[in-house]
Structure 1
Amino acid sequence: MALVGGAVRDALLGRSPLDLDVVVPDGEVAALAQASGLPFVHHPAFDNATLTLPGGRAADLVRARRETYPVPGGNPVPQPGSLEDDLRRRDFSVNALALRVRADAAPTLLDVTGGLADLDAEVLRPLHAHSFHEDASRLVRGARLGARLRLSAHPELLLQVPAALAVAGQTPRLWAELNLLLHEPRPGRAAALLQEWGAGALLPDPALLLALDAQQDEGAIVSPQVYAAALLHAAPDPAALATRLGLGDRPGLLLARALGDTFYPAGTPERRLRALLRPDAYEGLTGKDVLALGVPPGRAVGEALAHLAAGRRAGQLRSAEDERAALRAFVAQQAQTNPLH
């Protein structure tokens, strides 16, 4: 058996592995998973098993195979194969490295596609000329990987971009990969790579995502939900994009709150997103501020806040100072209209 793919690549780069894939050329995968004593889920269609490791991480046991794609963008048809066959079916050369493990010999590194040279050159190269035509999601996976590892596109990758775009609509996995892009350490960088490679049509202008990347570079913690909400804001049809990416309702609701006038404390997702989308916006007075300006507790506070909100919606209030002045005028008017109020 052999450790393959991302774990080998990341180990060679001195990074903590994100993925653990073990290819089993011979033997029954389900039986091996059972023998491990770990919790696992068996996937019979491809004879793979996902094991849950101590600490919550996962490892995949993969039966060595070859693959064919009868329909571009559809699921591949697996056939039994060797370890070398399994490496050649993968997406990029830097993901086709293997560390062969034997009980009677030291581990050996196997490189059948030139992945080591590409890793040294910091280049991302598809394994064959029809790679993106078979599976357009590889284009997005490449952008994720290129952004994370600072890899540049091989000319062969750029040549295949039009083929990926041509079959994008019939490749459901592509939209799942775009969802995963929002969970990358720097989603804006990955989205910008897609645009740079000529695949900007897959996502709206990445400027907002890059701005969130910059916030992270300055030490802020920006969640994938904030990135998703910013992406929806930039989209011509936010509802359609949310559906394609399987985002659910939360990013849209977050976006609506960020675009509203409700007060949110510093550091909250709403406040962080509002600062990006409405740079000229200010934080209106809160109930605490209203009380500090002499409004008595109770119903009067709600009336004062409603009055200020109406002024903001009408465009009459443009700063906290405007609101304080409007509040003083409102309180004085209320006192004259209803001295006992």
Structure 2
Amino acid sequence: MQLATFAEGGRIALVGGAVRDALLGHTPLDLDVVVEGTPVLKVAEKTGLPLTFHPAFQNATLSLPDGRSADLVQARRETYPEPGTNPVPHPGTLADDLRRRDFSLNALALLVRPDSEPAFLDEVSGLRDLEVRQLRPLHGASLHEDASRLVRGARLAARLDLDASPQLLQQVPDARRMAPHTPRLWAELKLLLQEPRPGRAAQKLQQWGAADLLPGLNVLEALDSLQESGLQVPWLVYAAAVLSASDEPAALAARLGLGERPGALLARARSDTYYPEDTPEVILRRLLRPDSYPPLTGRDVVALGVAPGKAVGEALSHLAQLRQAGQVRSADEERAALQRYLAAR
């Protein structure tokens, strides 16, 4: 589809992550398109694709036939009434739109034209930063205005193997001071937990002097190592691991918008309840309690001589009390304790 043919005298450009990833040889997952000089809704409707219109920012999201999405953005500039708050959009040019972005390598663009070859636009020397694998904010107050950019930068740096520029590192202390006043930061931290390797992103924050934004670095890195060994680790396990390192897990879950599932998973992992191998409960339990082991089950105690029925529950309750008291530390010790229990009855 040639979006440029729908511009009606305006200009249309593919921008940001799609251009960046294409230059790196990656397949872009989603497409961001800036429309200048003509209404976004008019362009979106002419495509004939299913769309959702967002009137507050005059943007539209198209559903593409291959399952991906394309965000059509009205060219704009932005101002921040207060640092950390949502920006206020103002009509702007394509150049304005590129300069309002977070990092230079996200400000690259490809101007699409109906009757000629696309034109590459690099308003802020983002290509040079991409070539040296460097993450550079666009101006000196970037992370002061929006501290969530620090977390977004850590996600990008981990995923694309980027280094922080001196300009970014200079702004980290200011970003940390602004973090409590930036609600969007919590949404970015939740997205960090959904990265392919969350431990790498958390490690970037630590390297940049912002480890206090997210607890549990050691556990997150250990989960990354399990993934690299071939074990599939759901993001819910990463979320529960972060909660395990917090003094106030319920409050942290609420700030991150995690819902109840990670906390419930953490409670199950900390219990003595039996779960099959490689379940989220067992994966997390082994990291939090390296000395844990699979306790005896009802089937096990019946095989060891306990009569089916009420006696099974009583035997399992006895073993659970011994585990909680630290008097048994392995399945073999449970078997021996069960034999003593039966002999004394």
TM-score normalized by the length of structure 2: 0.94
Partner of 2:244: 233
Decide whether the 8 Å contact of 2:143 with 2:149 is kept in 1.
yes
The percent identity for this pair of structures is 66
Q: Does 1:216 align with 2:227?
A: yes
Q: 1:48 aligns with which of 53, 56, 59?
A: 59
Partner of 2:169: 158
Aligned length: 334
Q: Does 1:65 align with 2:83?
A: no
Alpha-carbon distance in structure 2 between the residues aligned to 1:129 and 1:46: 25
1:296 CA displacement: 2.6
Partner of 1:322: 333
Partner of 2:4: none
SS at match of 1:90: coil
1:55 CA displacement: 4.4
Alpha-carbon distance in structure 1 between the residues aligned to 2:23 and 2:326: 58
1:169 CA displacement: 1.4
1:121 CA displacement: 0.1
Alpha-carbon distance in structure 1 between the residues aligned to 2:291 and 2:66: 45
The one-letter code sitting in structure 2 at the alignment partner of 1:298 is G
Partner of 1:339: none
Q: Does 1:18 align with 2:29?
A: yes
Provide structure 1 residue ranges, at least 5 long, that are not aligned to the other structure. 335-341
Q: Does 1:273 align with 2:277?
A: no
Q: Does 1:309 align with 2:320?
A: yes
SS at match of 1:62: strand
1:318 CA displacement: 0.9
1:293-318 deviations in Å (ceiling 9; x for gaps): 22232222212111111111111111
Alpha-carbon distance in structure 1 between the residues aligned to 2:110 and 2:199: 33
1:29-87 deviations in Å (ceiling 9; x for gaps): 11222222222221111111112223432210001111111211111111111111111
Partner of 1:90: 101
4+ runs of 1 displaced by more than 6 Å? none
Partner of 1:337: none
SS at match of 1:51: strand
Partner of 1:333: 344
1:148-202 deviations in Å (ceiling 9; x for gaps): 0010000000011112112211111111000100000111111111111111121
Question: Does the C-alpha gap of structure 1 residues 88 and 173 become closer, same or farther in structure 2, counting only changes over 3 Å?
Answer: same
Q: Does 1:114 align with 2:125?
A: yes
Tell me which moved more, 44-53 or 4-13.
Answer: 44-53
Alpha-carbon distance in structure 1 between the residues aligned to 2:193 and 2:29: 16
The one-letter code sitting in structure 2 at the alignment partner of 1:263 is Y
Tell me which moved more, 163-172 or 126-135.
Answer: 163-172
Decide whether the 8 Å contact of 2:83 with 2:144 is kept in 1.
yes
Cα RMSD, aligned residues only: 1.2
The one-letter code sitting in structure 2 at the alignment partner of 1:285 is L
Q: Does 1:199 align with 2:213?
A: no
Alpha-carbon distance in structure 2 between the residues aligned to 1:313 and 1:165: 41
Partner of 2:5: none
Tell me which moved more, 320-329 or 174-183.
Answer: 320-329
SS at match of 1:105: coil
Alpha-carbon distance in structure 1 between the residues aligned to 2:310 and 2:161: 57
